Amino acid sequence: MAGETDHATAAARSEIVDLIPALRAFARTFYKDPSAADDLVQETLMRALASIHQFRPGTAMKSWLFTIMRNAFYTRIKIESREAPGAADCASSRPATNATQEWSARGREIAEAIDRLPEQQREVIMLIGVLGVSYEEAADICQCAIGTIKSRLNRARLRLLEELGETTPGASWEQDQAHPIESLPGSRLG
């Protein structure tokens, strides 16, 4: 019996290690600063390993870890709100050079638009749209109904389209296909 438990714990630990890249990506939805995101990942890993005995085999390890991370983040926010301000983003840590290509400028626009989304919508769009989590897993992580997840995702998508000046999903792509020469960067026709 003890040997089976040890084997299950070792397998769970191995699965946790495999999910570290996904944890890092999810942490970046909470913190722009890579150092703060890495700290959140480390805290999540410490909490997960300390309570590995509570993990139920047969359930999704990724959802369990994301839930731990989300709870750790909210705990940090409560603590930080009571502390003195001093951890504000320093201007010297921001990049000083502008994007040299249109695609990187557009990527920055998208990232900024995502950052402006309300927290719940941003969290859902990152979970489903970026990390590829299922609706069911997202509902477990966010501790709400699947319908709520779908609603938040739809509102987030519509708000992103509005902020980016798109009229419908794929409108920019459709316009590029209809007028390929006019849509090229630097084209006099576009």
User: Among 92-101, 113-122, 147-156, where is mean pLDDT lowest?
Assistant: 92-101
Whole-number pLDDT of residue 131: 85
Domain that holds residue 132: 103-168
Q: Indicate whether 86 belongs to any domain.
A: no
Q: Give the DSSP letter of residue 125.
A: I
CATH number at residue 136: 1.10.10.10
Q: What is the mean pLDDT of residues 78-97?
A: 61
pLDDT 10s digits, 134-143: 999 899 989 9
Whole-number pLDDT of residue 103: 72
- Calculate the alpha carbon distances from 30 to 24, 36, 44, 118, 127 in Å: 10, 9, 13, 12, 11
Total number of domains constituting the chain: 2
Q: Indicate whether 98 belongs to any domain.
A: no
pTM of the predicted model as reported, rounded to 2 decimal places: 0.51
Dihedral angle computed from the Cα positions of residues 120, 123, 126 and 129, in that order, rounded to the nearest 10 degrees:
-40
- Write down the residue that tokens 């750790």 correspond to: 72
Q: Indicate whether 162 belongs to any domain.
A: yes
Q: Indicate whether 60 belongs to any domain.
A: yes
Whole-number pLDDT of residue 38: 92
In this predicted structure, the answer to whether residue 43 has a pLDDT above a threshold of 90 is yes
Query: Is 123 in the same domain as 74?
Result: no
The mean pLDDT of the chain is: 79
Whole-number pLDDT of residue 96: 55
Query: Is 64 in the same domain as 107?
Result: no
Exposure class string for 42-79: b at 16+ Cβ within 10 A, else e: ebbbebbeeeeeebeeeebbbbbbbbbbbebbeebeee
Q: Indicate whether 148 belongs to any domain.
A: yes
Q: Indicate whether 184 belongs to any domain.
A: no
C-beta separation of 149 from 124 below 8 A: yes
Query: Is 77 in the same domain as 118?
Result: no
Dihedral angle computed from the Cα positions of residues 100, 104, 110 and 115, in that order, rounded to the nearest 10 degrees:
-80
Neighbouring CB atoms inside 10 A of 92's CB total: 6
Query: Is 60 in the same domain as 1?
Result: yes
DSSP3 helix / strand / coil % (the chain, rounded to 5): 70, 0, 30
Confidence of residue 31 (pLDDT cuts 50, 70, 90): confident
| Percent of the chain whose pLDDT exceeds 90 | 28
Whole-number pLDDT of residue 168: 64
pLDDT 10s digits, 50-63: 988 888 888 888 99
Query: Is 107 in the same domain as 59?
Result: no
Query: Is 26 in the same domain as 72?
Result: yes
